[in-house]
Amino acid sequence: MAQTLRRGPVSGTAVAQKRKRKPFLVDLYATAVGKKYVMAITGLAMIGFVVVHMLGNLKLFQAETSPGVYPIDAYGDWLRSLLYPALPKYGTLWLLRVGLLGAVLLHVHAAYGLTVMNRKARPVRYQSSRDYQIATFASRSMRWTGIIVLAFIVWHLADLTLGWVNPDFVYGEVYRNVDASLSRIPVAIFYIIANIALGIHLFHGVWSLFQSMGWNNPRFNSWRRSLATGIATAVVVGNVSFPIAVLAGVVSHPSV
């Protein structure tokens, strides 16, 4: 007896192929919540770097340990040989630089993605000045302070790390290079303006970091504001003191 062939149900539409799932972190980053988490985590890493970097640079004000020997130069040598010989000399420093660069790029990309998503969600701008004034000056200026800080990072690397824009640069002589760079009045002014922008950016960044992570209980708002103000003020005062000290002659290398 002939066997009957069973056929599946006939449909007028093609069967859609099963969509391949993306990794969880990629899917999370595609959302506004994921981008906020990335901004918070990378922001926290950069805040830590900025504070530690400023504290290390305060060695600029320490007196010579012997004629021509400056503590900040020894600090630079220590950074370059960090974890040596477990890692090659300069290895740890370059890992930190690459990690920081990755954090900056992720931070910028997440910020841009959030801006695009917010514009799509609100195609019409605020209709009244009162609505616009609800946001603080720091939050409204985040885009511009971010651009200034990004330009400052590029200049700072070219100036005091690579020496491309510092004609008197001598590799390894941090004290001398700082004096040679910030003795130029336009450069000193740019450093001051950039660090004020950094302080404004830091203030709002520290404040909004807790909100992005979901830690935004109104009971904590007072200490969140105090923490944001304290970190921003300390970084601005510390970093601005360097160009002022050079221009005032407090920091002066004999060969510059």
Using one digit for the tens of pLDDT, what is the confidence trace for 177-195? 999 999 999 999 999 999 9
Please indicate, yes or no, if residue 2 is contained in any of the structural domains.
no
Q: Which residue has the higher pLDDT, 87 or 242?
A: 242
Please indicate, yes or no, if residue 10 is contained in any of the structural domains.
no
Q: What is the pLDDT of residue 200?
A: 93
Q: What is the pLDDT of residue 32?
A: 84
Please indicate, yes or no, if residue 97 is contained in any of the structural domains.
yes
Specify the CATH number for the domain of residue 234: 1.20.1300.10
Q: Which residue has the higher pLDDT, 176 or 210?
A: 176
Please indicate, yes or no, if residue 7 is contained in any of the structural domains.
no
- pLDDT bin (cut points 50, 70, 90) of residue 132 is very low
User: Which of 41-50, 70-79, 124-133, 218-227 bottoms out in mean pLDDT, i.e. has the lowest?
Assistant: 124-133
**Structural domain boundaries, residue 95:** 27-123+138-248
Q: What is the pLDDT of residue 11?
A: 52
pLDDT digits (tens, 9 = 90+) for 53-86: 999 999 999 988 888 889 999 999 999 998 888 8
Please indicate, yes or no, if residue 17 is contained in any of the structural domains.
no
Please indicate, yes or no, if residue 4 is contained in any of the structural domains.
no
The amino acid that residue 173 corresponds to is E
C-alpha angle 166/169/172, rounded to 5°? 140
**Best CA proximity match to 108, nearest among 154, 141, 146:** 146
Number of domains composing the chain: 1
Distance between CA 56 and CA 54 in Å, rounded?
5
Please indicate, yes or no, if residue 19 is contained in any of the structural domains.
no
HEC string for the chain: CCCCCCCCCCCCCCCCCCCCCCCHHHHHHCCHHHHHHHHHHHHHHHHHHHHHHHHHHHHHHCCCCECCECHHHHHHHHHHCCCCCCCCCCHHHHHHHHHHHHHHHHHHHHHHHHHHHHHHHCCCCCCCHHHHHCCCHHHHCHHHHHHHHHHHHHHHHHHHHCCCCCCCCCCCCHHHHHHHHHCCHHHHHHHHHHHHHHHHHHHHHHHHHHHHCCCCCHHHHHHHHHHHHHHHHHHHHHHHHHHHHHHHCCCCCCCC
Q: What is the pLDDT of residue 222?
A: 80
164 close to 170: Cβ distance less than 8 angstroms: no
Q: Residue 126: pLDDT above 50?
A: no
Please indicate, yes or no, if residue 232 is contained in any of the structural domains.
yes
Percent of the chain past pLDDT 70, that is, above it, reads: 85
